[in-house]
Structure 1
Amino acid sequence: MITENQEYLTELKAWSERYQDWDLLRDQSIMVAGATGMIGSSLIDWLMLLNEKKGLNCRVVALGRNAGKARARFGSYWEKPEFVFVEGDINEGIAYDQPIDYLLQAASNTHPLAYSNFPISTITTNVIGTNNLLNYAAEHGAKRVIFLSSVEVYGENRGDTEKFKEDYLGYLDCNTLRAGYPESKRTGEALCQAYLKEKGLDCVILRLSRAFGPTLLTSDSKALSQFLKKGIAHEDIVLKSQGKQQYSYIYSLDAAAAIFFALKHGQSGQAYNVAGSKCDTTLRELAETVARLAGTRVVFDLPDQAEAAGYSTATKALLDTGKIARLGFSADTDLESALTATMRILAALA
């Protein structure tokens, strides 16, 4: 169980010592949607660790669709009074009726095979599910909502910028299967603005770059996730293109830290890019780094039609993080250190 892995706990403790704004969360109720996902589970682990180490007395309300899966993941907390799991599909409503102080919306399909195999739920979770959560937050007195959006809302880089700033507008072909994810994330952001205007709900939007980390799900089909799985198994790293694409990445624990930072320091109604300050790279360089750490090599293999249907067509998607940096936040875990920690922890759990 990852919550018993000492290296993972050390990673969490390191950020908790570095970032000291925890009093905001003292005696608060925090709802986390997408509880068993890569980011959601990191948030919950961190909050429960802070309850233990800092005496914050946070009540964590974890939302997920499968109680059995959640119990296996959060068994260390299951009987603790400050942890509550709520089973249900957010597209159908929220099966909980208590006040909350903060809502963290991390529920979403986030990888290519999910986009192509489950395009309807990809869209509905980001739109209908988000609407249900925002309505719940407005009706139950939430002080702030964090909506996790994506670098993909920017669409294609038109060739007129090196990195996307928050006001950038790129090309996105809405009449494709693959568009369901970025278009629905755009709509989720628009819903945040609508609730801010009509109901006075305080919302902050974080546009995350491609994330990875020790809470990576086995079902994740993103390119880097496949690299990591191959590396941990000491197999050759399979690259399904020439690897010239340039992307920003972020270690999942840095992403979690950014979310907690935004709870206190983000400005309502604003969107902030979140990426690792030392994690911009090409896909080929990324594959080569994982191969070197694993002691294997990179081989090339074109994807099949179903897999390719879920892939992003973006060839350059780098995020400018100056806006959140000016508030005082920097995600500065370097790429190789983050990959090394991720591989060690996942290998220990295999």
Structure 2
Amino acid sequence: MINNELYINDVRYVAALNLPWEFMKGKTIMITGASGMIGSAMIDVIMYRNMYLGMDCTVYGVGRDIEKGKKRFIEYWNNKNFQFISHDINLPFSQNMDVDYIVHLASNTHPVAYSTDPVGTITTNIIGTNNLLNYAVLNGTKRFMFASSNEIYGENKGDIEFFDEHYCGYIDSNTLRAGYPESKRCGEALCQAFKKKKNLDVVIPRLTRSYGPTMLMSDTKAISQFIRKGIAGENIILKSEGKQYYSYTYMMDAVAGLLTILLNGKNGEAYNIADESGDIILKDLAMVIAGYAGTEVVFEVPDEIEKVGYSTATKARLDGSKIRVLGWKPQYDINNGVKRTMDILRHIM
């Protein structure tokens, strides 16, 4: 990935954004979910600034699988500014490190993971978050970032077109699928509790359905499945009527949003990382990918495991006006972001 010129151009773009990078110079940052789609891209951006722009920020990448981590971050493995920490965040940290910033990205983020690991989905967002918040307080962390999700908004009640940061829709909590959005809601509430009782500085980005070349090949989100089929030259399989209207964000634009909130966001505030240019109806998304791949869209009934993990929301478009005030805007709309993802993955695979 790091040797792909298109991907490196994305890294350079984010690394050159007009942000107050001086706040990170000589500091330390811990990123959980380091090997994931967003975490790995964020580490690439920070390490690029370290190696070529003299930022000198120490990165602690936290993940459970050290071999997976070494494979992904082999270019930085012996770099003085990088350390991979093999740890399950559902267990308290025993390491005694001064950490200036904590970015909590670790979470199950796709349907099959929700349905096959429902306990792990919940505990990572609640117990893991609580462990990290306590660690932040004990180590005098300057700012804690909890990556939340568009899923916390629940079902659109039909009263609004875009979800702003105060919207609260319906979630049927008595379902297996509810474990993800409800635990994200609880994680946000924990952050607010630590802000109030422990004076911890917290910010909460809410990510849309993210995609990009750093996505895991095990990811079962619809867009990830579509892209995998497209780069393989296979027909795109749509397992519904495709009427769902969602917001999507290219992963490097999501990283730019995270860094914007980390460095410019206001203590205690939540921000949607979203833009209308990333909104598309699911069947149209399938057609875009199939068209670029030169294949067709076919319909298929989902199996029971997949069905249990699927969101029932039919419209989830996020209002991105709040983060735009901080200076963020995406580089790619949905069409160009999907094409860039496929171009990079075709070259790598």
Superposition TM-score, scaled by structure 1 size? 0.98
Contact persistence 1:251–1:276 (CA under 8 A): no
Match of 1:294 in 2: 293
Of 259-268 and 244-253, deviating more is: 259-268
CA distance in 2, matches of 1:49, 1:94: 28
Instruction: Report deviation, 1:332.
Output: 4.2
Counterpart code for 1:338: G
Q: In structure 2, how many angstroms separate the alpha carbons of the residues matched to 1:99 and 1:93?
A: 16
1:168 and 2:185 matched: no
Within-5 A mapping of 1:75-224:
75-224=74-223
Match of 2:11 in 1: 12
Q: AA paired with 1:312?
A: S
| Residues in 2 aligned to 1:253 and 1:94: alpha-carbon distance in whole angstroms | 29
Q: CA deviation at 1:334?
A: 1.2
Query: In 1, distance between residues paired with 2:48 and 2:175?
Result: 42
Structure 1 residue matching 2:140: 3-state secondary structure: coil
1:88 and 1:95 in contact (8 A); partners too:
no
Within 2, Cα distance between the matches of 1:297 and 1:22?
45
Q: Distance in 1 between matches of 2:204 and 2:17?
A: 23
1:37 alignment counterpart? 36
CA–CA distance in structure 2, aligned partners of residues 168 and 231 of structure 1: 35
> Hey, what does 1:345 align to over in structure 2?
344
Q: Which amino acid aligns with 2:303?
A: D
1:3 matches 2:2: yes
In the alignment, the residues of structure 2 paired with residue 116 and residue 245 of structure 1 have an alpha-carbon distance, to the nearest angstrom, of 20
Tell me if structure 2 keeps the 8 A contact 1:86–1:95: no
CA distance in 2, matches of 1:131, 1:18: 32
The secondary structure found in structure 1 opposite 2:29 is strand
* CA distance in 1: counterparts of 2:198 and 2:329, whole angstroms: 32
Whether the aligned pair in 2 keeps the contact of 1:28 and 1:57 (CA below 8 Å) is yes
1:296-311 map, 5 Å: 296-311=295-310
1:95 Cα deviation after fit: 4.2
8 Å contact kept, 2:6–2:344: yes
Residue pairs, 1:256-275, within 5 angstroms: 256-275=255-274
Secondary structure of the residue aligned to 2:194 is: helix
Amino acid at match of 1:121: G
| Cα distance in 2 between the residues matched to 1:119 and 1:21 | 39
Per-residue Cα deviation, 1:24-65 (whole angstroms, up to 9, x for no partner): 211110000110011110111111111012110010001000
Kindly tell me: are residues 91 and 155 of structure 1, through their superposed partners in 2, closer, same or farther at Cα, counting changes over 3 Å? Answer: same
Gaps of 5+ in 2: none
Name the TM-score, length of structure 2 as normaliser: 0.98
Residue 284 of structure 1 aligns with an amino acid whose one-letter code is: K
**After the TM superposition, which segments of 4 or more aligned residues of structure 1 sit over 4 Å from their partners?**
none
Structure 1: how far apart are the matches of 2:263 and 2:299? 45
Instruction: Give the letter aligned to residue 204 of structure 1.
Output: V
Displacement after TM superposition at 1:166 (Å): 0.8
User: 1-side partners of 2:64 and 2:267: how far apart?
Assistant: 29
Q: What is the CA deviation profile of residues 87-142 of structure 1, one whole-angstrom value per residue up to 9, with x for unaligned ones?
A: 11000122421101100000000000000000000000000001101111111111
3-state SS of 1:3 partner: coil
Count matched residues. Answer: 349
What residue is the counterpart of 1:227 in the other structure? 226
3-state SS of 2:174 partner: coil
Amino acid at match of 2:95: Y
Tell me by how many angstroms 1:325 deviates: 1.2
Q: Which residue pairs with 1:331 in the alignment?
A: 330
Query: Where does structure 1 lack aligned partners over 5 or more consecutive residues?
Result: none
- Counterparts of 2:259 and 2:322 in 1: how far apart (Å)? 16
| Alignment of 1:279 onto 2:311 | no
Amino acid at match of 2:112: L
In 2, the alpha carbon distance for the partners of 1:131 and 1:347 equals 40
Superimposed CA distance per residue, residues 274-315 of structure 1 (whole angstroms, 9 cap, x where no aligned partner): 113411000001000001111111111010111100000000
* CA distance 1:96–1:3, change in 2 (3 Å): farther
After superposition, the C-alpha distances for 1:215-241 in whole angstroms (9 at most, x for unaligned) are 000110000000000000010000001
Q: Which range is displaced more, 108-117 or 22-31? A: 22-31
Root mean square deviation, CA, Å: 0.9
Partner of 2:247: 248
- What secondary structure sits across from 2:177 in the alignment? helix
SS at 1:178's partner residue? coil
> 1:170-228 CA deviation, whole Å, 9 max, x = no partner?
00000000000000000000000011011111000011110001100011000000000
> Once the two structures are aligned, what percentage of the paired residues are identical?
50
Distance in 2 separating the partners of 1:18 and 1:186: 31
Three-state SS of the structure 1 residue aligned to 2:340 is: helix
Whether the 8 Å CA contact 2:19–2:263 is kept in 1: the answer is: no
The 3-state SS of whatever aligns with 2:16 is helix
Per the alignment, residue 23 of structure 2 pairs with: 24
8 Å CA contact 1:277, 1:331 repeated in 2: no
Read off the aligned partner of 2:80 and give its amino acid letter.
P
CA contact (8 A) 2:15 2:48 kept: no
